[in-house]
Amino acid sequence: MTKDLKIHDSSGNVFADLDARDADERLAKAELARLIRHEITRRGLTQAAAADLLGMKQPDVSDLVRGKLSRFSRSRLERLLNALDLEIRIQVGPKPSDKVHAGITVELVESF
């Protein structure tokens, strides 16, 4: 049995593509969490060691690295990045012409 599949171009934000509420905020949190996971992995930290460094419990680190972000605010994720000695820079500018509305974007300044 073959089903006809419809393929749509992505907007670049999976949350917006799924019509999720607060799509830009959710994407920003996911990107911040990805950077935290990357740094934990880059340093070779166990979840227990990461928890000690970040001042949280190991189950919270587990939720973070598995993308369970409902209990993490964006400001908390930013504090965790700072605890990992990562600088956060906020830039404000005009909306890119290819976007329908202004939103939040997380970008790496330089690869690490």
- Is residue 31 a contact partner of residue 106, using CB atoms and an 8 Å limit? yes
Per the CB < 8 A criterion, the answer to whether 112 and 34 are in contact is no
> Which domains does the chain show, CATH number per domain?
20-83 (1.10.260.40)
Contact, 58 vs 67, CB < 8 A?
Answer: no
pTM as predicted: 0.79
The secondary structure of residue 84, as a DSSP letter, is T
Identify whether the C-beta of residue 54 lies closer than 8 Å to the C-beta of residue 64: no
pLDDT string in tens for the chain (112-residue length): 567 878 777 777 778 777 788 888 888 999 999 999 999 999 999 999 999 999 999 999 999 999 999 999 999 999 999 999 998 888 788 888 887 778 777 777 765 5
